[in-house]
Chain A
Amino acid sequence: MAATQTTNGPRKRVTAMLLLPTTLWFLLLLVMPLVVITVYSLGERAPAGGYQPALTLAQYANLPARLKAFTNTLTLAPLGTLICLLIAYPLAYFLALKASRRTKAFLLTLVIVPFWTSFLIRTYAWIYILGGRGIPRLLEMIGIEDLRLINTPTAVLIGIVYGYLPLMVFPIYVSLEKLDKSLLEASNDLGANPIRTFFQVTLPLSAPGLITGSLLVFILLMGEYLIPALLGGGKVFFVGNALVDLFLQSRNWPFGSAVALTLVGIMLVAITLYLSLLGRQRRHQDVSIL
C-alpha cells in the first residue's frame, strides 16, 4: 500500500502538469471568450460602435432581423454536408477497398494536393469556373443557354462540396481502411450478396468515420462565410457573413455576440439531436433481430 501511494503521488502530479497547458488553453481560448460574448450579448451598442455595458435582452429580441441568414445556413449547411457525404463515401470506399496500392496512393495525393494552395485562392478560382466564361460558356456550346451559376445558392453549394469534400473523405476512408476485410468475406460466405453486405456490415462499421466526417463538415459549414461571400456574391448570406458584418462593419458587438451565441446554441442542439438519434438507432440495431 505504502509503495503504491508513493508512486501515485508523483504520477498524479505529472499528469496534472501534462494537462496544464491544455487546461489553460481551454480556459483562455474557449471559456473566456464564451463568457465575454455572453456578457456582450446582454449589453448595448456604444454610439460609435462597439460595446457599452447594459443588462438587456434587446439583442436577442432583434434576432429575427437575421432570420434569412439563419435559414440559409440551416438549409445549406446540412444539405452541403449530405452532398459531401454522398460523394465522399463512394470515393472513400473505392480508395479503401477497391483501388490497387498504386492507384490509391495516386488518388489520395490528388485529394491532398489542393491543400497546398490557400483555400481562398482556390475558392477564388471557382469565381471564374462558375462565371460567365466558365462552365456556363461550355454549356452554351452544347446548347444550354442563359444558365447563371455564380452568385446563386447552387454556386455556394458547389463551393462547399469542393472545399469540404476532403474533410469528409478522410475519416470515412480511415474507418473503411481499418475495416477487417475478412468480415466482408464472412458476410459474402454466409449468403449475403455485395449490396446486402454493404448495408449490413460495411456501412454500420464505417459509421464512426461517417459521423466524424459529417460533424466536422457540418460544424465548419455552420460558421462558413468565405464561400457565400465569394461564390454567393453577397447575395447568399450565412450567419458567418452576418457576424463578419456585425463585428467589422456596423460594429454592433452586442448584437453580433447574441447572433454568435445563438449559432452556438443551435449547433449544440443539432449535434446533440444527431448523436442521440444515431445512438438510438445503434441501440435499436443491437436488439433488432431477436
Chain B
Amino acid sequence: MSKNDDNAPISAEQFMKELRRYQKGSISRRHFLGVTGLGAATAVMASAMPMLAGAGRAQAATIGDRVSIATWPNYYDPANFEQFTKDTGAAVQVSVFGSNEEMLAKLQAGGTGWDVFVPTNYTISTYVELDLIQPLDLSRLPNFNEKYYIKRFIEPGTVNGKVYAVPKNWGTTGFVLNRKKVTSNPTTWKEFWDLCKTDAKNRVMVHDYQLTTIGNALKYFGYSFNSVDPKELADAEKLLLDVKPHLFAINSDYQPSMRSGDAWMSVAWTGDGLQLHRDIPEIDYVLGKEGGELWSDFYAIPKEAPRVDAAYAFINFLIDPEVNAKEVHAHGYPVPDNRTTALLPKEMTENPIMYPAQELLNALEFGAAVTLTDPLRAEIMARFKAA
C-alpha cells in the first residue's frame, strides 16, 4: 500500500510504524507528552553503564557516575549519549518533556535532580528572574566559541550581561500543508486562517500551545507575534473562535493526522516539517510571509544541579562540532554553529525547510519571555479551547 493513498484504511504495518515512533517519544518535538500529561515520563539510559564502562573509569572519579538531562522528544542522538558514557563512565539519564511551561513548573517545584536542561530562548530570562538557573563558566566549555556562532542565536542566552545558556539548535514555526489536498498555494498566515473555513474546512490543526497559535493568529492582522496588547489579542481571539468550529483539532501532535490524510494543514515546527516532507513529498513546509516565530534552544544548568562537573563535561561534549553534526543527522534541526554546519552534507544545508530563504527569516521574531508568561494570552488560549 502506498503511503500516498490516504483513502485506504491504515495498514497494520503502518500503524506499527506510527506506534514505534510514538514509543521512541519522537512523535513531535514538543507537546505530545505535554498534551497527554505524561511529561514526566523518564527514560533512564544505560543505567548499568558505569559497571561496564572500562575506559572512563579514571574520569568517572572526577565527574561522577551519571549525568541527568531534561530535553525534548526526538531531540538527541542516543549513540552520542552512549559515547559520552563510554568516554567518561557517567551514565546519561534522560527526562523527556512536552512543553517549556512544564519544564518550568518542574524546576519551580524543585528536586528535579537534573544537571542539564534545554530551555527555549524566551524562557531563559524567566529562569534567571526566578533564580532557577546558574551562570555558565565559559572556561569550562572549551568547545564553545562565540565567533563561530550566529549572533542572533547566542543573544537570548545572555541575561543582564551574564551568560546562562549556550545554543543547541534553532528552528522556525510555519505550517505544513498537503499539496494534493490544498491546491491553492498559501504563502501567508492570512491565507492559512482563511483556508480553515473554506477549502480546508475541518482539515486544519493548530497547536495546543498559546505561544504559536495566538502568535500566528496575531499575524493574520499584521500584529507582532509577541503582542500582549489586549486590543490586538481580542482580535486574535475573535479569529480563533471564528475558525474553531471548522478546525480538525487543537493538538500539537499533528504528524499522525497529517500522515494519515485526516488533516491537510497544520501549524508546524521545522523538524516535523522536514520529517513529513521526507516521508511524504507532497507535504510541504511553508513560512508565512508576514513572519512568525523563530526560536532557538539552549543548553543550561539548573541552579540546583547536583552534579555540576558532569553538567559542564556533558555540554562541552555535545557542542563538539563532530558530535553536534551527528545530533543534527538524528533530529534534523539546524545548528547556529558554523563549524558544525560545515560538516553537514549539502542535502541538508541546501534544504529550504532547514535553512529558509533569508527574506523569510528576516520577517521572523523570537518569542519573548512575556509572551509565554502573559496571563491574558494563557486565558485566551483556554477560552479558545474551552469554547
A133 & B36 in contact (Cβ 8 Å cutoff): no
Hey, what's the 0/1 contact readout for A46-80 against B, CB within 8 Å counting as 1?
A: 01111000000000000001111100000000000
A206 at the interface (CB under 8 A from B): no
Expressed in whole angstroms, the Cα–Cα distance for A45 and B248 within the complex equals 32
CB-CB under 8 A for A138 and B36, given A128-B260, A234-B251, A234-B385: no
- The chain A residue sitting closest to B19, CB to CB, is A121
CB-CB under 8 A for A133 and B373, given A248-B105, A250-B379: no
Expressed in whole angstroms, the Cα–Cα distance for A225 and B35 within the complex equals 9
CB within 8 Å of A: which B120-159 residues: 126, 129-130
A31 at the interface (CB under 8 A from B): no
Expressed in whole angstroms, the Cα–Cα distance for A251 and B382 within the complex equals 12
B210 at the interface (CB under 8 A from A): yes
- The chain B residue sitting closest to A148, CB to CB, is B202
Q: How far is the CB of A187 from chain B (nearest CB, A)?
A: 49
A233 at the interface (CB under 8 A from B): yes
A270 at the interface (CB under 8 A from B): no
CB within 8 Å of A: which B182-205 residues: 202, 205
Of A12-20, A172-180, A196-204, A238-246, the one touching chain B: A238-246
A150 at the interface (CB under 8 A from B): yes
Task: Determine the interface band of chain B, counting residues with CB < 8 A from chain A.
Answer: 35 or more
Expressed in whole angstroms, the Cα–Cα distance for A145 and B30 within the complex equals 35
Q: How far is the CB of A233 from chain B (nearest CB, A)?
A: 3
B260 & A235 in contact (Cβ 8 Å cutoff): no
Which of A67, A125, A241, A251: most chain B Cβ within 10 A? A251
A89 at the interface (CB under 8 A from B): no
CB within 8 Å of B: which A9-49 residues: 45, 47-49
Q: How far is the CB of A132 from chain B (nearest CB, A)?
A: 4
Chain A residues contacting B352 (CB-CB under 8 Å) are none
B51 at the interface (CB under 8 A from A): no
Instruction: List 17 extra interface pairs beyond A148-B202, A233-B205, A249-B378, CB under 8 A.
Output: A47-B373, A48-B126, A48-B129, A48-B373, A68-B387, A120-B36, A121-B19, A121-B22, A133-B6, A230-B35, A233-B248, A234-B251, A245-B381, A248-B37, A250-B382, A251-B373, A251-B378
Can you list 26 A-B contacts (CB < 8 A)?
A: A45-B375, A67-B386, A68-B386, A68-B387, A120-B36, A121-B19, A121-B23, A131-B260, A133-B8, A133-B10, A133-B262, A150-B249, A229-B35, A229-B36, A230-B36, A233-B250, A234-B250, A234-B251, A235-B385, A245-B382, A248-B102, A249-B34, A250-B101, A250-B210, A250-B382, A251-B378
